[in-house]
Amino acid sequence: MTDNARVRPVINRLSTAEPDFDARLETLLAWEGVSSTEVQQRVDEIIAAVRRRGDAALVELSNRLDRLAVGSMAELTLGPARLRQAYDGLPAEQREALAAAAERIRVYHEHQKPGSWQYTEADGTVLGQQVTALDRAGIYVPGGKAAYPSSVLMNAIPAHVAGVREIVMVVPTPDGVLNELVLAAAHLAGVDHVFTLGGAQAVAALAYGTETVPRVDKIVGPGNIYVATAKRAVFGQVGIDMIAGPSEILVVSDGGTDPDWLAMDLFSQAEHDEDAQAILVTWDGAHADTVAASIESLLPTMERQAIIAESLAARGALIVCRDRGEAAALINRIAPEHLELSLADPGSWLGEIRHAGAIFMGRYTAEALGDYCAGPNHVLPTSGTARFSSPLGVYDFQKRSSIINCSADGASALGRTASVLARGESLTAHARSAEYRIKP
Amino acid sequence: MTDNARVRPVINRLSTAEPDFDARLETLLAWEGVSSTEVQQRVDEIIAAVRRRGDAALVELSNRLDRLAVGSMAELTLGPARLRQAYDGLPAEQREALAAAAERIRVYHEHQKPGSWQYTEADGTVLGQQVTALDRAGIYVPGGKAAYPSSVLMNAIPAHVAGVREIVMVVPTPDGVLNELVLAAAHLAGVDHVFTLGGAQAVAALAYGTETVPRVDKIVGPGNIYVATAKRAVFGQVGIDMIAGPSEILVVSDGGTDPDWLAMDLFSQAEHDEDAQAILVTWDGAHADTVAASIESLLPTMERQAIIAESLAARGALIVCRDRGEAAALINRIAPEHLELSLADPGSWLGEIRHAGAIFMGRYTAEALGDYCAGPNHVLPTSGTARFSSPLGVYDFQKRSSIINCSADGASALGRTASVLARGESLTAHARSAEYRIKP
C-alpha cells in the first residue's frame, strides 16, 4: 500500500522525521483569502449603489446577478407564513430530524448565556457589567448548491437564545431556485423575515438599510469572495463574524480506531470543496498505511469522489509523528477548526490543547455529528484563527456595558488618583472634572 | 443667556420639540472614518514591504516616517529592565497613582474571567466549552502628544489577567521622543517587550512577524487613520479590536447637578480632539441654560480652550427633551461610548438602557474617574458601535473551544439525525461517517 501510495499520491504523506517537514507542512497549510482589486472595486460600487438607491438598486442587482425578473422588493421578501409553510411541507423524517437538531442546538447555547454582575466596594462604590442583546441581527445564507439548512440553525439559534429582538435572513435565489429545507430551518430557528438577496448587495442592504430591508447591528454567516469582501468593508458600520476560509479537520489517531471510520471522517471534510483540508496525525506508521488503504478503497464509492480526490491530493495529509507529545504540538501549531481526538483517553489531552475550534473526543464522536445535531455550533474559526477566535455563540449576539456608580467617598478618593494621572497626560479638563468630586 | 447663546453658539442647542430635530441630530452624530484610496494604497505598500523585507523595512520606514536615524532593530527594542527603570524613575506621586489605578483595573477585570463548563447527558454524552488565553497579544500605543499611560494600563492589563503568555507593545517615537510614563505603565501592566515602532509598519510587523518582532494573535489599541486602515487590512490574519472613532459622551441630567460640574464633564470629553463629541440631554430647559452659562464662563479658563471650543461648536450639543422617556429613547438611539446619568436615581434607568459602552451613574461619577482608575476599561465602542460591541475586556484575549464527547449510545442516536440531515444536503460522506456510529 505504501508503494502504491507513492506511485499515486491520493493523499500527501508526511513524517515529522523528514528534514523538510516544517516547510512541507507550511506549504500545505498556507491559505490566504485575498480579494483582487477588481473584486474590491466591484464590491465598493455595489455598496455605494445600495446606499444611494436602496431598494431600486437591490432589484436591479438581483435581476442582473441572480438572473431574476422581479419588479419590486415585495417579490424578494418572504414572511413568517411562507417559512412555516416550508416547514409543514417537509417529509416527516426531515422535519423531525431538523426539529431534533434545533432543540439540541438551543439547549447547548442556553449554557452560554452570561449573567450581568456587580460588586460593592467598602466605600459604597458599585462596579459591574450589564449584558444586553443586539436589537437586530442579519444572517447571510449562501444559495444555490451550498444552501445548507444546518447553517441556518447554527447561525440563527444563538441569536434567538441571546434575546435578539429581530432576526433578518438573506439568501440568494440564483435563477429563482428556493430551497425549502433552508426556509423550514429559518422557521424553526426563529428568523423573522427572509429577503431573497445575495452577494455584496445583500450585505450592503443589511449594513445600511433600505426602504424595505431594516439596518441590522451585526451580520453573520458564510459567503463567497464578494460576500467576504463586503463584510470586511462594512465592518465598523455593523459588527461581523469572522471571515471564513475553507473548512478543515485534524484527526489524531492512536491506531485503535477502524481505519474505514477515519477515512470517512476525512472524506466528510474533503467533500465540502476542493480547498477543504483533511489531515490525520498518528505516531503509528502501520496505522497510517491502513488508513491510506481505506482511503483508496472507499474513495471510488463516494458520490462526491471528484471533489474529495482533489481536496485530498491538494491539501490533505497523513502525518506520522514520533509520539504523543509531537502530536499535541502539531495541534497547537495548526490550531484546527475541527479537532478529532480518535483516542482511547481523549480527556487526558484537553489540558494540552490551547487552540482548536471544536474538539471531538473519542472514537464515536465523528465531526459529522457536531456538524448537524450534537448541539455546539458548527460555525468555527478556520485557517488557524482558532488562535484568537471562538465558535459562533450567544456571546456574538450580546454586548456588555460597564457599570460605575461612585459613592461620594469613592469619588473623592478616585478623584485624587485621576487628577494626578490626568495632569500627567496634560488633560486638565479631566483633572478638574475629577477634582470637583474631591471632598475638601 | 439663551439670547447670548443664540448670538454666539458656543455649543449647539437642540430641542426634541423642533420639527427638524431628527435631521439636526443625525447630522451632528454623523461620522464615518473613511480611508482614502491613497491611504489604502500606502498602507498596502507598507504591509507588503514589511512582509517581504522584515526588520530592514521596519528600520527604513521608522527612519523615514518618524524622523529617526537608527541602524538596526536593536535600537528600536526596549526590554523589561528599561521599563522597570522608567517606573522607578517617576516622581512618587505619579508612581503611586499609576500603581493604584493598575491595581483597581486588575481587580475589576478579574471579575470578567469566565469559566470552562461541561454537562453530561443521560446517555453519557458530554458537551461543554473550554476557555483558553491567546498565546501572544500586541498592544498599539500612539506616540507623540497622544501618548497616554492610562491607555497602556487599559489595553495590557486585561491581556495579562486573561493569561496571555506574551504581551508585546509598540509605540512610535517621532523625532526620538520617548514618554517615560508610558514605559512605566507598560512595566506595571505586565508588558514583556516594547518596540518603538508606529503606523502601518508596526501593525504589519505584529500581524506577520519579522526576524525581531514576534507574530501576535491579536492587535488592540487606538491609532491614526494609517493604523486603523492597517488593522482592517490584517484582520483575519490576526484578531483586532474595534476600529475606534472619535470619543464621545452623553450626559443625562435631571437638573440637580451643579452646572459647573456638568460643563467640566463635557469639557473633559471635548478636550480630546476637535472631532470629540459632548452632548447633554435634559428635560429641564432652565437647567440647560445654566449649563450653557457655565460653559461660557469656564471655557476661557481651560488650558485646551481652542480644542474644546472647536469640538463643542462643531459636534457638541445641549438637547432639551420633553421627559424622561424621551431621554431614555435618545440614549438607545445614540448608543453612546460614555453615558453619564447625572440623576437622583440612576439605578432605575439601568433596565431601559440597551446600548452604551460604559454607564457612569450618579452625580459623583465623573467620566474622568472611569478614564483613569475606577476599574472598568476605558477602551469603549464609539460612534454608535455600542449597538453591537463591548468594552475591551478579558474576553478579548481569550477564546473558546467546543467540547463534544459522544458515548456509544449518544453517537448512535445522533448518527440517525445527522444522516437524515446530511443526505438532505447531499453530503453523503458526512452521512456515512455518522452512519458508521449507528448501532445495528
CB contact, 8 Å: A72 with chain B?
Answer: no
Interface test with B, best of A94, A113, A367, A403 (most B CBs within 10 A): A403
pLDDT of residue B145: 65
CB contact, 8 Å: A377 with chain B?
Answer: yes
CB contact, 8 Å: A335 with chain B?
Answer: no
Residue B272 annotated as lining a ligand binding site:
yes
pLDDT of residue A3: 46
Residue whose C-alpha cell reads 462643531 in the numeric block: B314
pLDDT of residue B3: 46
B residues 380-419 closer than 8 Å to A (CB): 380-381, 385-391, 393, 395, 399-408, 410-411, 414-418
Count of H helices and E strands in chain A?
A: 16, 15
Q: Under an 8 A CB cutoff, do A111 and B126 touch?
A: no
Q: How many CA atoms lie within 13 A of B333 on its CB side?
A: 12
pLDDT of residue B1: 42
Residues forming a β-bridge with A339: A250, A359
Chain A CB contacts of B370 below 8 Å: 402, 404
Q: Under an 8 A CB cutoff, do A350 and B270 touch?
A: no
Annotated catalytic residue B338: yes
Q: Which pTM was predicted?
A: 0.94
CB contact, 8 Å: A165 with chain B?
Answer: no
pLDDT of residue A23: 96
Count of H helices and E strands in chain B?
A: 16, 15
Q: Is-contact B210 B110, C-beta < 8 A?
A: no
Q: State which H helix or E strand residue A262 sits in.
A: helix A259-270
Q: Under an 8 A CB cutoff, do B366 and A411 touch?
A: yes
How far, in Å, CA of A165 to CA of B355, rounded?
14
Q: Under an 8 A CB cutoff, do B368 and A417 touch?
A: no
Strands (E) in A141-189, as ranges, are 166-170
Binned at pLDDT 50, 70 and 90, residue A146 comes out as: low
User: Rounded to whole angstroms, what are the CA distances from A368 to A154, B135, B301, B435?
Assistant: 14, 29, 68, 10
How far, in Å, CA of A77 to CA of A75, rounded?
6
pLDDT (tens digit per residue) in A404-436: 999 999 999 999 999 999 999 999 999 999 999
Binned at pLDDT 50, 70 and 90, residue A34 comes out as: low
β-pair type (A193-195, B239-240):
unpaired
Residue whose C-alpha cell reads 445522533 in the numeric block: B414
Chain A CB contacts of B130 below 8 Å: 350, 353, 359
Chain A CB contacts of B426 below 8 Å: 303
Residue B435 annotated as lining a ligand binding site:
no
Cell numbers at residue B371, please?
A: 478614564
* Spans of chain B below 50 pLDDT: 1-6
Q: Under an 8 A CB cutoff, do B264 and A117 touch?
A: no
CB contact, 8 Å: B350 with chain A?
Answer: yes
Q: In Å, how far is A60's CA from the nearest CA of chain B? A: 27
B7 torsion bin: left (phi>0), alpha (psi -120 to 50), beta (else)? alpha
Percentage of chain A modeled with pLDDT above 90? 88
How big is the CA angle at A295 (ends A293 and A297), to the nearest 5 degrees? 70
Residue whose C-alpha cell reads 450618579 in the numeric block: B362
**CATH number for the segment(s) A245-388:** 3.40.50.1980
pLDDT of residue B4: 45
pLDDT: which is higher, A282 or B5: A282
How far, in Å, CA of A294 to CA of A316, rounded?
15
Closest-CA residue of B relative to A272 is: B427
Amino acid at B406: C
What sections of B137-208 are H helices per DSSP? 149-162, 180-189, 199-208
How far, in Å, CA of A141 to CA of A379, rounded?
12
Chain A CB contacts of B408 below 8 Å: 364
Q: In Å, how far is A258's CA from the nearest CA of chain B? A: 10
Nearby residues of B431 by Cβ (< 8 Å), 6 or more positions away = A368, B418, B419, B422, B423
How far, in Å, CA of B339 to CA of B357, rounded?
7
Residues forming a β-bridge with B403: A359, B128
Is a pLDDT exceeding 70 seen at residue A2?
Answer: no
Active-site choice (A248, A271, A337, A367): A337
Q: In what order do the strands lie in the sheet with A338-342?
A: A12-15, A317-320, A277-282, A248-253, A338-342, A358-361, B398-405, B126-133, B117-120
What sections of A271-347 are H helices per DSSP? 285-298, 305-315, 324-334
CB pairs under 8 A between A and B: 374
Residue whose C-alpha cell reads 459567503 in the numeric block: A223
Q: How many CA atoms lie within 13 A of B81 on its CB side?
A: 0
Q: In Å, how far is B257's CA from the nearest CA of chain A? A: 12
Is a pLDDT exceeding 80 seen at residue A303?
Answer: yes
User: Boundaries of CATH 3.40.50.1980 in chain A?
Assistant: 37-114+130-240, 245-388
pLDDT (tens digit per residue) in A321-346: 999 999 999 999 999 999 999 999 99
Cell numbers at residue B18, please?
A: 423642533
- List b or e across B187-202, with b for residues whose CB sees 16 or more CB atoms inside 10 angstroms: bbbebbbbbbbbbbbb
How far, in Å, CA of A9 to CA of A91, rounded?
42
Among the listed residues B125, B127, B128, the one whose alpha carbon sits nearest the alpha carbon of residue B408:
B125
B218 torsion bin: left (phi>0), alpha (psi -120 to 50), beta (else)? beta
Chain B CB contacts of A94 below 8 Å: 420-421, 424
Helix (H, G, I), strand (E, B) or coil at B331: helix
How far, in Å, CA of A194 to CA of A206, rounded?
12
Task: Work out the burial of residue A185: count CB atoms within 10 Å of its CB; fewer than 13 is exposed, 13-18 middle, 19 or more buried.
Answer: buried
Which of B404, B407, B427 has the CB atom closest to A376's CB atom? B404
**What is the pLDDT averaged over residues A223-251?**
90
How far, in Å, CA of B413 to CA of B11, rounded?
67
User: Rounded to whole angstroms, what are the CA distances from A203 to A47, A50, A171, A192, A394?
Assistant: 8, 10, 11, 17, 21
CB contact, 8 Å: A75 with chain B?
Answer: no
Q: Is-contact A185 A29, C-beta < 8 A?
A: no
Q: Does CATH place domain A37-114+130-240 in 3.20.20.70?
A: no
Amino acid at B279: I
Q: Taking the alpha carbons of A178, A179, A182, A188 in that order, is the dihedral positive or negative? A: positive
Cell numbers at residue A145, please?
A: 448548491
Q: Under an 8 A CB cutoff, do A373 and B414 touch?
A: yes
pLDDT of residue A6: 47
Q: What is the mean pLDDT of chain A?
A: 94
